[in-house]
Amino acid sequence: MKNFVIIIFLILSFLFNFVEASDHSKSIVVTSNPYASKAAAKILRNGGSAVDAAITAQFVLTLTQPQSTGIGGGAFMLYWDKSSEKLYALDGREKAPASASPLLFLNKDGRPKKFYPDAVVGGLSVGVPGMMRFLEQAHKKFGKLEWSVLLEYPIRLAEEGFELSPALHRTLSFMPDLKKIEPAASHFYRENGNGELTPLPIGTILTNAEYVKTLKRIAEFGPEEFYSGKTANLIISAVNNSPVSPGLITLEDFANYTTVWRDPICDLYRKYKVCSMPPPTSGGITMLMMLKMLERFDIESEHPNSPNFIHLFSEAGSLAYADRDYYIADPDFVDVPVNGMLNEDYISERSKLIKKETSLRDRKPGKPKGHTKFSKNVDISRPSTSHLVIVDNFGNSISLTSTIEGPFGSHLMAGGFMLNNELTDFSLIPKRNGLFVANRVEANKRPRSSMTPTIIFNPEGEIYALTGSPGGSSIIGYVTKSVMAMIDWDLSPQDTVSLPHFMRKDENTELESGTDIVRYKQFLEKKGHKVVIIPKVSGLQIIKKKNKGFIGGTDPRGEGLVIPISK
């Protein structure tokens, strides 16, 4: 009888584990593009690490999502190394060339150039790309497969072509200046018979012979080719001979570019450890400030889309963004008061400014310990960029946000890929009211970012979730809300990414157009909010722990793909 009971117990245990395993996977890929997700999944199935898979995905995204990301830009990543139980943060942000000065984007009369197209389009806005050195360093430390193997599929896809997506077609439709600059114009547009250029139709099989040549060089000679070989010279030529606003980048600028392994920035929200990137991105600090300011409120009792939560979330955002606008820039040039901004007493004082019944109109930056008096930076970055999250079969996890700024960066193309316009993430105006702006242009400096790749650990110290998004300066709001949705309401990744967006970065409280929350406009205005209803272009990609494995979600506003992998 005893043996019979044991057998029944074992059978029931097996059935329970089978049911449990049916809704989770040991490894999983979520990227913003189906081609990239499938390529990354194949790398994992062949024994590659999360970094290997991310590298292949990034080379694919350069081809299939050229409006948002690519090897002509830069990236930030968090990487959880399971074997050492350690979290790493890698900074692959672009840098200003040695020729850059605070006057870079000023006209002769001392006034700033018009942001688009004057500052954005052309060689002047191009920073020294960090992506290739970033991928190289990540691979050296955490790669398992040979470098050349990671480029095999991207090369084949560029040779055989991919189907032009609705998102790429749609973005091409509102880029009038891209039509004026070669070789991008000939690559993405065709004459319609009336002498006008129109975007390639959705579903067009688009090949890229120049990108094939670039990838083959990088596969054969390694990432160094990008910084000292033919690819470097192609980029320098495109920038310095740009028909619009030529820049001045040299081989020495390329030779001097380095990535930086930085200490992740972490804090507790409820009982969960939330980690993200430190400066030069403003994402991690600003997100953690918002979370800590909201921690004293009973968020769990609110609905994720309730007008009360929209109010509280927006107020916290306005205060955190106020500090961001003054104090955050490249830490190699500016003493960013990270500890002061996240100090418990300082956060408590800032949080007390949030009132349940009224909106704070006269928002001002606080005075965290260690701050330097700077003038306000005005952020004009546009919603673009790409994010991916991957967990591999070894338990390693990566949350990686990459960008060329854009859309389509500087509009310049070299070697089959788009070049960034990242220098416009600096303040176009270096000085206001006699005070320097922390995020002003300086030689060899990295521009401030909003990218917020994030990894969350549960109270037991295990991976709980990975999240991140594109979206310009709105990235911080998107990611912060996703963290709260998963912790406060235990929402699934897909339910989290499907929530409507709302936030306040300055004077305006933004509600996502076409969503149910626009009906709260009057409610919020009665509290004093200045409400605007606008599109919100996010691209959240999320992985979350479930049972003994992981599930994923991809933003319905984009074209991402979740691929769970069962071994």
C-beta separation of 488 from 481 below 8 A: no
Residue 204 bears catalytic tag:
no
Q: How far apart are CA 543 and CA 424, in angstroms?
A: 32
Q: How remote is the C-alpha of 68 from its chain's centroid? A: 10
Residues 6+ apart with CB under 8 A from 12: none
Report the alpha-carbon angle 93-97-101, nearest 5: 110
* DSSP letter, residue 322: H
Q: How far apart are CA 67 and CA 167, in angstroms?
A: 9
Q: What 3-state class would DSSP assign to 457? A: strand
Residue among 118, 56, 101, 99 nearest 421 (CA): 118
CA distances for 144 relative to 7, 52, 89, 133, 395, angstroms: 41, 7, 19, 17, 14
Q: How far apart are CA 51 and CA 134, in angstroms?
A: 11
C-beta separation of 64 from 162 below 8 A: yes
Beta strand 27-31 pairing with 189-191: unpaired
Beta strands in 172-252 (DSSP E): 189-191, 197-199, 205-206
* DSSP letter, residue 419: P
Strand-pair partners of 28: 391, 564
C-beta separation of 332 from 446 below 8 A: yes
What is 240-277 written as a DSSP string?
Answer: HT-SSS-----HHHHHT---EEE--EEEEETTEEEEE-
Catalytic residue among 385, 467, 496, 554: 385
Q: How far apart are CA 425 and CA 330, in angstroms?
A: 12
Residue among 449, 450, 451, 453 nearest 388 (CA): 453
CA distances for 57 relative to 12, 31, 103, 272, 275, angstroms: 40, 8, 37, 29, 23
Q: How far apart are CA 342 and CA 338, in angstroms?
A: 6
- Can you say whether the dihedral through the CA atoms of 513, 519, 522, 525 is positive or negative? negative
229, two tokens? 């070989």
**Catalytic site residues?**
385
